[in-house]
Amino acid sequence: MKLFNALFAAAVCAAACAPLAAQPYPSKPLRLIIPFPAAGGGADFVGRVVGLKLAEGLGQPVVIENRPGAAGNIGIELVSKAQPDGYTLVIAPPSLTISPSLYKKLGYDPVKDLAPISLLAEIPNLLTIRAGLPVNTLKEFVDYGRANQGKLNFGSSGVGTSTHLATALFLNLTGLNLVHIYYKGASQALIAMIGNEVDLVVLGPTSAMPHIQAGRVKTLAVMRGTRLAALPLVPTIREAGVENSEVITWYGLLAPAGTPREIVQRLNAAWVKSAATPDTMEKMQSASVETMSGTPEQFAAMIRSEIPRWGKVIKDAGIKVE
């Protein structure tokens, strides 16, 4: 009798659970974490475009949640510890691969604790300065900085962000000494520069372009190998005289490690399809963002290769987190 009761209970449980197990993914809204402040920055812009397109492709709402702090690490760590069911995702910036070389006690392992889904976008970095500085070219700024060592400062979206490391690389190559002042996001650093709190900020065109066009800030160089179509007269940093200082900010989509393979593939397929549409590319291009996509394996390989690359930059520049 006991055996019969146990078998009966197991059968009832299996019958009750079967409809749940059979539910297709996704069957409820998704949560997309953006680890930087809302409005103004590249991560938020890319995240909102991606969230909209994933919602269209998956047939479920995608709820955006901004969780800024610690160069993106607060939001990334939150997702690394979430249920691996495909309903909590994160837009990760290059700090994902920078932080392992900066923090002795990072709350997650970028390789072991996260499941890469796809690269999403790339944004060129602009080397910008406040409008009131008496210089108009990169060479003039370098000369001015050398004559005022320790008196100028630069803003970034946080210690260990790609904008911080891009600036540190530039300063190391030119021998300049600028004081670092960091903010919660790129848009906050830009506002500080417009308000004459900082002298230099490296940031993407998403937030900078309206202020560049209005003359509130000056752009001295594009930190990549080709000029920006929206700013054809601004030279690349190599053209402006500084070699080996190209840094591009990228964004990718990840889920917690252990997310079922079929769910990762479903999310990847949804983005790859959306990324190829003219509507998505036009939305991204409106902010000088290049739409990207690829396989989970390609994104995973990129993450693994970027970690030692940034480790060398950090070591050479002597950057430490206090």
pLDDT digits (tens, 9 = 90+) for 25-65: 999 999 999 998 886 678 999 999 999 999 999 999 999 99
pLDDT confidence of residue 248:
87
- Which pLDDT does position 38 carry in this prediction? 81
pLDDT tens string 174-206: 999 999 998 877 888 999 999 999 999 998 888
Strand partners, 250: 122
The Cα–Cα gap between 77 and 152 comes to 34
CATH 1.20.1730.10, applies to 126-222: no
Distance, CA of 316 to chain centre: 23
What average pLDDT does the chain have?
90
**Same fold? 28-123+249-317, 126-222:** yes
**Which CATH architecture group holds 28-123+249-317?**
3-Layer(aba) Sandwich (3.40)
- Residue 18: its pLDDT value, please? 46
> What Rg value do the Cα atoms of the chain yield, rounded?
22
- Here the tokens at position 118 are 């796809």
Backbone phi and psi for residue 202, each to the nearest 5 degrees, phi listed first: -95, 125
Q: Which pLDDT score, from 0 to 100, does residue 10 have?
A: 52
Q: Is the pLDDT of residue 216 over 90?
A: yes
**3-state SS string over 98-150?**
HHHHCCCCCCCCCCCCEEEEEEEEEEECEEEEECCCCCCCHHHHHHHHHHCCC
Percent of all residues in the chain with a pLDDT value above 90, rounded to a whole number: 71
Q: Quick one: pLDDT at residue 33?
A: 98
- Predicted local distance difference test score (pLDDT) of residue 41: 77
**What 3-state DSSP class applies to 69?**
coil
8 Å CB contact between 183 and 138? no
| CA dist 118 → 25, 114, 183, 292, 302 (Å) | 18, 12, 28, 8, 10
How large is the average pLDDT for residues 275-287? 94
E-strand ranges in 175-315 read 179-182, 200-203, 217-222, 248-256, 290-291
Return the minimum-mean-pLDDT range out of 10-19, 70-79, 88-97, 160-169: 10-19
Place of tokens 């009131």: 132
What's the pLDDT score for residue 322? 59
Q: Helix, strand or coil for residue 156?
A: strand
Query: Which residue, chain included where needed, has tokens 């008496």?
Result: 134
Return the number of other C-beta atoms located less than 10 Å from residue 180's C-beta: 15
pLDDT at 256 over 60: yes
- Distance, in Å, from the CA atom of 61 to the CA atom of 143, rounded to the nearest integer, reads 52
Per-residue model confidence (pLDDT) at position 13: 54
Q: Name the residue ranges covered by the structural domains of the chain.
A: 28-123+249-317, 126-222
By DSSP bridging, strand 248-256 and strand 114-124 are: antiparallel
Q: How far apart are CA 241 and CA 243, in angstroms?
A: 6
d(CA 187, CA 128): 13
Question: Is residue 7 pLDDT above 60, yes or no?
Answer: no
